[in-house]
Amino acid sequence: MRLSPLVIIVSLFIMGAVDLHAQNEGGIPYEVVMHLPIEMGSGATWSPDGSQLAVIVWPTIQIWDMETRELLVTIPDALINSVKWSPDGNMLAGVQSGGNIAEARDTILIWDAATGEVIQEMSPPHAETGREVVLVRVDGLSWQPNGDRIATGSEIYSDRILVSDSVLVWDLQQDDNPQTLIEGYPQASGEDYVHVRELDWSQNGRWLLGSGYDRPNERLVLRLWDAETGETISTFYPVVNPMWGPNDEQFAGLTIVDDGYLTMQDARYLFSVWDTETGELISSFKAQKNYMAFTSWNLESNFIAGANWQGYLMLWNVETGTRYTFPELETLAVSGIEWRPNSNQLAIADLDLGVTILEFNFSSLNR
């Protein structure tokens, strides 16, 4: 059954119906099970089977065997800020920045994970507009679960004027002819549309979560789209950091609850969890202490991890809303976090210290 579009404005008045004061139970026992002394590691992501870890060490990508702690492959001159494994673990995809910020022409690159060789390059096409295209920006890359397609946000600028803005779906067998799944500017001129910054494809392939800026209103927004038709199913303001929960039955985002904030750092935040089918708000937990720039949902234990650049790490039990803090880790200069698949191990990338793997003892909470 197709759902009608649902718009939910997240505010303190709506949030008053749910638990905003989750009990803080302190920390959870953990141990450091591994440390990779990598300088300037600016992000780390696990392979789907958890056997390898891709670490961004600008401008390269390093791929590590996590059983032997051996560096397997170094991809030179990748020039990317984030990287995504293909569902089968055989490939990596990322967006390579091209040129200076005023004349950048981003390119989507796909590498062979075993060799580090580039096996595919893709760049968003643009229609003839009578203007010279000087900037092509790509954001929010996400793999379809079967690995055949990739979704990206695409923006084309000329003379600092937005020429086109859309969500593209790339068939890897037809890389020069992507499908425009969600029309942005100028097709949606006069209507709300999303200037996409993050994308996350559901595990069942049915939906896309996207967050970014809602134009022309300039509001941060999270939207749920039908991945086949591009139809908007649900809209939530103002929300960032989209995440899918277990079995795609729920999804979460980081909700800004201060309308009068001056910067992202000054605002207050909640983790909000919604039901996918109905769009109903299930629960919210206080994020507190600044913007949680990095978030990850452990689909096995149903805990969400959040961290900011200052190393403030928190875990939330999604079912109870209980919050756990780790003040001893606040010396970290965090640049990314991610749960290991089918595990209670969390990879924390640190610009100064490298990558640390923590294993949490969640079973101790049931004693």
In order of 34, 37, 38, 329, 363, the CA distances from 354 in angstroms are 11, 5, 4, 14, 28
Q: Which of 33-37, 88-92, 177-181, 361-365 is modeled with the greatest confidence?
A: 88-92
CA distances from 165 to 127, 180, 289 (A): 12, 10, 34
The pLDDT assigned to 216 comes to: 62
The winner for highest mean pLDDT among 48-57, 162-171, 259-268, 284-293 is: 48-57
Quote the pLDDT of residue 140: 85
Q: Is the pLDDT of residue 225 over 60?
A: yes
Is the pLDDT score of 360 beyond 70? Answer: yes
More confident site: 135 or 346: 346
Q: What is the pLDDT of residues 4-34, one digit of tens each?
A: 333 333 322 233 333 333 444 567 899 999 9
Q: Domain ranges in the chain?
A: 6-19+43-291
The torsion of the CA quartet 87, 31, 61, 120, rounded to 10 degrees, works out to 0
* Residue 122: pLDDT over 70: yes
* CATH code linked to domain 6-19+43-291: 2.130.10.10
What per-residue confidence (pLDDT) applies to 289? Answer: 57
- Which segment of 11-25, 112-126, 203-217, 235-249 scores lowest on mean pLDDT? 11-25
Least confident of 71-75, 132-136, 361-365: 132-136
Whole-angstrom distance, CA of residue 112 vs CA of residue 118: 6
Contact between 284 and 18 (Cβ < 8 Å): yes
Backbone φ, ψ for residue 14 (5° rounding): -65, -40
Mean pLDDT in residue range 62-86: 91
How confident is the model at residue 62, as a pLDDT? Answer: 95
State residue 332's pLDDT score: 72
Q: What is the overall mean pLDDT for the chain?
A: 80
Please work out, in degrees rounded to the nearest 5, the angle formed at the alpha carbon of residue 161 by the alpha carbons of 155 and 165.
25
77-81, 233-237, 244-248: which has the minimum mean pLDDT?
A: 77-81
Query: What global pTM score does this model have?
Result: 0.85
User: How large a percentage of the chain has pLDDT more than 70?
Assistant: 77
Six-digit token string for 285: 């937990």
Predicted confidence at residue 178, as pLDDT, reads: 82
| Averaged pLDDT, 229-236 | 91
Q: How many CB atoms lie within 10 A of CB 301?
A: 17
Choose between 125 and 235: higher pLDDT: 235
- pLDDT, residue 41, reads 78
Question: Per-residue pLDDT averaged across 92-117, rounded?
Answer: 82
At 164-221, the pLDDT tens digits run 678 889 998 876 678 888 776 545 444 555 678 899 999 999 999 998 877 666 778 8
